[in-house]
């Protein structure tokens, strides 16, 4: 149910939980004076959990490309370790 904000000239501001189908309040529930419904800012967004990041909602194309990039990086590091040093190659030729 939405929360609506009202203002009474005598009691001040107050909030009221009402159904969307209900008519707006015309009289203060405390002093029965006329009330005015205020423009509410609405409820704020509440983020719960470990966090939300810009990259959480990227397309599947991006994710598959990122996996391909990370796979080639780790594969090239393994290949560089297997290559013999230049000093051993030059000594074999002599």
Residue 84: per-residue pLDDT: 55
Residue 35: per-residue pLDDT: 95
Q: What is the tens place of the pLDDT at every residue in 12-67? A: 999 888 888 999 899 999 999 999 998 866 666 667 777 666 666 777 888 788 88
Residue 82: per-residue pLDDT: 53
Q: Are 8 and 16 a contacting pair, CB within 8 Å?
A: no
Rounded to an integer, what distance in angstroms lies between the CA atom of residue 2 and that of residue 16? 8
Which position has the higher pLDDT, 71 or 74? 71
Residue 50: per-residue pLDDT: 72
Residue 11: per-residue pLDDT: 92
Which position has the higher pLDDT, 58 or 69? 69
b (16+ CB within 10 A) / e for 62-90 = eeeeeeeeeeeeeeeeeeeeeeeeeeeee
Task: For residues 68-94, give the mean pLDDT.
Answer: 55
State how far the alpha carbon of 42 is from the alpha carbons of 16, 20, 49, 75, in Å: 13, 14, 22, 52
Tokens 């189908």 belong to residue = 21
Residue 85: per-residue pLDDT: 53
Sign (positive/negative) of CA torsion 45, 48, 53, 54? negative
């Amino acid at each position: 149910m939405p929360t609506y904000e009202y203002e009474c000239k005598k009691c001040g501001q107050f909030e009221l939980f009402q159904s969307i189908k209900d008519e707006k309040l015309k009289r203060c529930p405390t002093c029965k004076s006329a009330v005015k419904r205020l423009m509410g800012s609405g409820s704020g967004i509440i983020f719960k959990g470990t966090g939300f990041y810009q990259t959480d909602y990227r397309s599947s194309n991006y994710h598959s490309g990122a996996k391909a990039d990370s796979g080639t990086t780790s594969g090239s590091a393994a290949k560089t370790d297997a290559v013999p040093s230049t000093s051993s190659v030059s000594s074999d030729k002599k």
